[in-house]
Each structure stands twice: as structure tokens, then as C-alpha cells.
Chains A and B, each alone.
Chain A
Amino acid sequence: MLFGAPQYLVSGLTVGATYGLTALGFTMIYNTTGIINFAQGEFVMLGGMLSVVLLKAGLPLPLAILAAVLCSALAGCLMERAVIRPVGRSAPVNLVIITIGVSILVRGVVMLVWGKDTFALPAFTGAKPLRILEASVQPQSLWVLAITLLVLGALKLFFSRTIHGKAMLACACERKAAALMGISVERMAMFSFGMSGFLGAVGGAILTPITLTSYDVGVMLGLKGFAACILGGLGNPFGAAAGGLILGVLESFGAGFISSAYKDAFAFIVLLLLLFVKPTGLFGGPKSDRV
């Protein structure tokens, strides 16, 4: 009955890590601005696509990925500066529509420039699978998990040790008070968009060797990231990461044990059931701090 379970667990964790990184991006922006950024999936797509493009342009792989991730972070900052900040404090729904518009725009630009093809990225260290506990694990899966953990650790340090991190936390807790303490809330908002661009792009770049990429992969990844965010409790970064991993594993188990045709549905069915039972997500209490 449980034949294949370790295998599903590994592949679930791998994909889940990307959902988690996407969800982290959602959380960053939500915490500092209260916006659900529907262009989040496009950051993931940009990470993958730009890596491929830069690699083809002749850059070595690590450098290509680094450049892609930085470009995406820049795109995030640019997005905040160009379309979010000018609108200021308008209704959240309007801001959400703007992010949807941006996602269409980004998808359109990528499609026009690089076409509708599917692209691949080579695995970081070979494609020869390792055998761990009856599961054949691609080295790339280990990379994905390791990098995700690394990013999580770095974030933890960033929020607890650096002045910027603390300033962002302050914005999340109480924007007005943060502004009164001399924190530029606007700059923090831009910073959070940049960071979520960065996080999404990292997820996209490390997952592309496994799942391939194309101009429209961002839609589903964005939705799953949003789902992971809600699953973990909106506004809680580590809940978001955990939500991503849980979502990935559920999906993988559902595909393996029940039916692969309904793979994408399992995650959402579980999520709906959870929401009906505990409407604030797994790790979100009504009174919990938002970070």
C-alpha cells in the first residue's frame, strides 16, 4: 500500500519548496502593504526564464541564475515604484487588479520576446539519481531543499538581526507607528516587493531543471503559492513556507496514491476542507502576530 511513499515524499517536498518560496513572497508584500500580489507567480517564471535566457547568452550557470534573481528583484522594486506607489491608499481590490494587470503585462512581454516554447535548465550537479531509502532522488531535489532551507535561515537572521529586517517587522505590526519612528514605510514597501521578486525567482530558478519553464508557468505556481500562504495562515512567513511543503507533499501523495489526473485538485480540496474547519489557516490564530 505504501509502496512508493518515500519517492512521493521527496518529489512533494521538492515542488513544495518552490510553493513555499512563492508563498514567502506573498507574505512579504502582504505584511508591509496588505496587498495580495497576483504577479507573484510571474516572479517565479522570470527567475526560471531569465536564467535560461542568460545561460543561452553565454553566462555560466551560477552567474546566470544570480543575474536572473537580481533582475527579478529589480523588477519587483520597479513594480512597486511604477504602479503601486502612485496609487497610494486606494481600495485593496483595485490594487489587486493592478497586480493582475502587471502579471498579464509581464507574461505578455516574456511571450513576445522569447516565445511560447518550453525551456529547460541543466541540473546543477548532474542528473544521476541517488538512492536514499528506496527512493531515487535527483541531486537537484537536494539542491532545491538545501537552498530553500538556506533562504529560510537567512530570512530568520535578516528579521531578527538586521535593522532593515526589524524595520520591516515594524511596518507589518503597525504602519503608522513605524512611520512615526522614522521608518520610511514606502521604502519598506518597495523593499518587500524586491524581496518577494528575489524569493520567487530563486524558487523558479532552482525548480526549472526539474519541471521546465515557459512564459505561462507563473499562473499555477502563483495560485499554489497563494494557497500555501493561506494554508499556513496569511502573514506568517514560516507558516507560508511550511504551507508550501505540506501542499507539495499532499499533491504528490494524491497524485501517487489516488489519481494523477486530479493532482492539482487535491491541494485545493484539502485547503478548502481546512478553511471550513479552521478559517485562519494552520498556523494563524486570530490574535497571532502577523510575522
Chain B
Amino acid sequence: MAAFACLLAAAPLALSNDYYINILILCCFNALIVMGLNLLMGYAGQVSLGHAAFFGLAAYTTAVLTATAGLPVWVGVPAGIAVSALVAWLIAVPTLKLQGNYLAMATLGFGIIVSIVFNEAVNITGGPSGFVGIPRLKLLGYTFSSDTAYYYLTAGVLWLATLVSRRIIDSRTGRALRAIHVSEQAAQAMGVDIARHKRFVFVLSAVYAGVAGTLYAHHLTFVAPSSFGFNFSVQLITMVVLGGMASLWGAVAGAFFLTSLPEFLRVFEEMDILIYGAMLVACMMFMPSGLAGGLGKLFAVLKAKLKPEPKPEPKPEPKADSRG
């Protein structure tokens, strides 16, 4: 955890350019959502193809409250997160009875409906051209006007979220979630309240997305429906899977990698989409357990190569918590 904090803190020092800091901030937003989604997908085994909707709901809520209604940001942000959580709770009740592809379809449908509403409710959301004039984040009289300041705020939130996730994963609840993933019947037989746990993790993941959404809205000061559509939901899932299911660091790595990748691919102009697709396919084909698993394996191989004589004391793996 400390190493992660150092890494996050040191990242902007290595970058001189505001543009790169902006990318880092975007990475943090996505990492937040992906971390929540990973709790839901990787640990509890429930697929959601509509998580962009929770991100968007929070972003639009705080946008409308602060820009249209003129409320202060410290009202808008919690309200945005609360709306995400509430909506998640409402749809969790019927949705989580479904399984596998049916669950995927239901969350997908929900996501699409929400993004259509963003597009069509023009007098509230500004429609397809977007919502402008969201105030910058201001807390206790301090306005986060510089990108670096905002980065530290987001990175701090991400670090905190990681801490919370770890506590949850290592707790009784986390074990219950993993049990549900393996077999719902078995978990139930062991006395796990399946419905309650699934609902909890669904709402929690929506809260993560909501936090990211409000931060996103106040960072860009502009939101448009295209950021919250089906494509983004798919990207999120891809980040979870590419990073490595049921691995906290994998989720963060997946999010950072896939968020910054298109920026590096800008050099290739229109080829970027091709390369993105090809990399996705290649990663999945050759690194099926994601970056976390792939790099872990790579480290193991390198270690074995560098130290042919076996050491008696097993070193603590940095990714020892990847299985929880």
C-alpha cells in the first residue's frame, strides 16, 4: 500500500507536461470505476455491462445540482454519489436474480436506457451536445484550479478506495463474495445471505463509479452523453479482464494501461483503433489471466532464471494479495 502511495505521489514529478497529468487523472478515474467493477465481477462473479451508467448518473447529478441549481459543490458531489447508489440499489433487487448472460443483458439494457435518457432529456442534460459550465471543485475555500492539485486529490481518493477494497476483500464479506463466485448454492448452504451480499457489492461498485463520476464532472467542467455509453461500459470490462480478474492491482494496472494506451497510439493517427483491437485480442489470447497474472508469471520466470539455486525462505510476492 505504501509503495502504491509513493508511486501515485511520484507519478506527476516524472511528467512535465499538463497533458500527461490530465491523462494520469483520467487513469485514476477509470481505475476507481474498474476497482469497483472488479469487486463485482472478479470477486463476486457478477457481470455488469452497464457500469458507465452509474458513472454518468453521478456526473450529471452533480452537474445539474451545481450548475443549474447553483448549489455548492459539497452538496453536489455527495448527492451524485447517493443517486448512483440509490439507482443501483433499486435495480439490484430484480436484476441480481438473473445469472450469466441474462444478467449481462439486463445491465446492458439498463446502461443503454440511461445513456438514451442523457441524450434525449435535452432540457435537463443539454442533449447530445453536452452539459457545459460545471464549476470546478472547491472544498473549504480551496479551489482545485491546477491539474496537479486535482491529480493529487484524485490519486488520494484512489488510494483510499484501494484501502477500502482491501479491507472488504479480506473481511468476512469478501470471503462470502468469493464463495458466491464459486458456487451460489454452496455459499447459501454455508449460511451466506446471497441476495444481501450481491446487492451490497453491486451498490458498492456503483458508489465507486459515482465517486469517479462526480470527480470527472468537476474536473472537465463539461459532460457529454457519449462518455457514458455502451462503449465505455465495454472498455471498463476490458480493463477489469485485461488487468486480471480478482486482483486489486490488476484492476488498477488494467485501467492505467488501457486509458493511456490510446494516447500513445495517437502517433499512429487512425490506425490506433486497429492497434487497440489487435492488442485486446492478443493480450487475451496470450495472457488469459490478465496483466496481473501475466506479469506475475513473467516475474516468476525471471526470478527462476536469475537465481538458479532455490532460496530456503519464500519471499513475499508483491502480488500475493492478487488472489485475495
Contact = CB atoms under 8 A, between A and B. Distances in A.
Contacts of B276: 104, 108
B154 to A, nearest CB: 27
A54 interface: no
Nearest to B280: A101
A112 interface: yes
B113 A93 contact: no
Interface string B212-248: 0000000000000000001100100110011001000
Contacts of B270: 111-112
Contact of A83 (B47, B98, B285): B285
Interface in B271-285: 271, 273-274, 276-281, 284-285
Tier of interface size on chain B: 35 or more
A288 B288 CA distance: 33
A55 interface: no
A265 B94 CA distance: 19
Interface in B144-196: none
Contact of A104 (B41, B94, B280): B280
Interface in A53-100: 83, 86-87, 90-91, 93-94, 97-98, 100
Interface of A: 36, 38, 83, 86-87, 90-91, 93-94, 97-98, 100-109, 111-112, 219, 223, 226-227, 230, 234, 261-262, 264-265, 268-269, 271-272, 275-276, 279-281
A262 B284 contact: no
Contacts of A83: 281, 285
Contact of B274 (A108, A219, A262, A275): A108
B219 to A, nearest CB: 27
Contact of B113 (A98, A103, A269): A269
Given A97-B238, A275-B102, A279-B97, A268 B285 contact: no
A24 B237 CA distance: 25
Given A87-B288, A94-B288, A230 B105 contact: yes
A272 B106 contact: yes
B117 interface: yes
Contacts of A227: 105, 108-109
A91 B285 CA distance: 11
B112 A268 contact: yes
Contacts of B242: 97
A172 to B, nearest CB: 15
A73 B110 CA distance: 32
B274 A271 contact: no
B273 A107 contact: yes
Contact of A93 (B106, B245, B274, B280): B245
B288 A101 contact: no
Contacts of B108: 223, 226-227, 268
A234 B285 CA distance: 26
Contacts of B47: 93
Contacts of B238: 97, 100
B120 interface: yes
Interface in B82-99: 94-95, 97-99
Name the residue among B99, B230, B271, B274 with the largest chain A CB count within 10 angstroms: B274
B67 interface: no
A100 to B, nearest CB: 6
A93 B37 CA distance: 14
Contacts of A261: 120
Nearest to B120: A261
B278 A101 contact: yes
B104 interface: yes
Contact of A86 (B277, B278, B285): B285
A287 to B, nearest CB: 15
Interface in B107-130: 108-110, 112-113, 116-117, 120
Given A104-B273, A230-B102, A265 B113 contact: yes
B17 interface: no
A279 B102 contact: yes
Contact of B234 (A100, A107, A262, A280): A100
Contacts of A101: 277-281, 284
A83 B281 CA distance: 8
Contacts of B230: 219, 223
Contacts of A87: 284-285, 288
B16 interface: no
Interface string B46-58: 0100000000000
A82 to B, nearest CB: 9
A112 B276 CA distance: 14
Contacts of B284: 87, 94, 97-98, 101
A105 to B, nearest CB: 3
B281 A230 contact: no
Contacts of A226: 105, 108
A241 B117 CA distance: 28
B277 A102 contact: yes
A87 B281 CA distance: 10
